[in-house]
Amino acid sequence: MKPSIIAPLTIAVSLALAGCQSDNIFEVTTQVVQEKNDNKMISQDNPFLKEFSTPYGIPPFDKIKKDHYLPAINHGIELNKKEIDLIANNPDKATFENTIVAMEKTGDFLNTVTSVFYGLTGSMSDKQMRAISSEVSPKLSALGDDIALNDALFAKVKAVYLQKSHLNLKPNELTLLETTYKSFVRGGANLNEQDKVKLRSFNDQLSKLSLKFGENLLSETNNFEMVIDNEADLAGLPDDIIAAATVTAKERGHEGKWVFTTHRPSKNPFLTYSTNRKLRETIFNGYTMRGDNENEFNNQKIAAKMASLRFQKAKLLGYKNHANYVLENATAKTSENVFKLLDQVWPAALERAKEERADIQKMIDAEGGKFKVAAWDWWYYSEKIRKERYDIDAAETKPYFSLEATLQGVFYTAEKLWGVTFKERFDLPKYHEDVRTFEVTDKDGSYVGIYMTDHFVRESKRGGAWMSSFRKQYRMYGEDVTPIIYNVLNYPRPVGDQPTLLTFDQASTLFHEFGHAIQGLLSDGYYRSQTGTSLPRDYVEFPSQVMENWMTEPEVLSNFAKHYQTGEVIPRSLVEKIQASGKFNQGFSTTEYLAAALLDMSWHSLETAEIQDANSFEQKLLKKIGLIDEIAPRYRTGYYSHIFSGGYSSGYYGYIWSNIYDADTWLAFKENGIFDQKTADLYRKHVLETGGSEDPALMYRRFRGQDPQVAPLLERRGLTNK
**Catalytic machinery residues:** 513
Q: What angle do CA 485, 488, 494 make, to 5 degrees?
A: 130
DSSP designation for 167: S
* Cβ 602 vs Cβ 621: under 8 Å: yes
Q: How far apart are CA 339 and CA 354, in angstroms?
A: 22
Count other Cβ atoms within 10 Å, centred on residue 128. Answer: 12
Closest CA to 397 of 255, 314, 508: 508
What is the separation, in whole angstroms, between the first and last Cα of the chain? 30
Q: Phi first, then psi: what are they for 501, rounded to 5°?
A: -105, 135
Cα–Cα distance, 402 to 563 (Å, whole number): 8
Distance in angstroms (rounded) separating the CA atoms of residues 376 and 282: 9
Tell the burial category of 583 from Cβ atoms under 10 Å away from its Cβ (0-12, 13-18, 19+). Answer: middle
Q: How far apart are CA 177 and CA 182, in angstroms?
A: 9
Q: Which element (helix H / strand E) includes 631?
A: none
Q: How do strand 484-491 and strand 447-456 relate by DSSP bridges?
A: parallel
Question: Read out DSSP for 266-292?
Answer: HHHHHHHH---HHHHHHHHHHHHTTT-
Cβ neighbors of 706 (< 8 A, separation 6 or more) are none
Report in angstroms the alpha-carbon separations of 673 from 416, 543, 555.
12, 18, 11
| 4: number of Cβ within 10 Å | 16
Contact 415, 550 (CB under 8 A): no
Integer angstrom CA distances of residue 265 from 271, 378, 463, 539: 11, 17, 10, 28
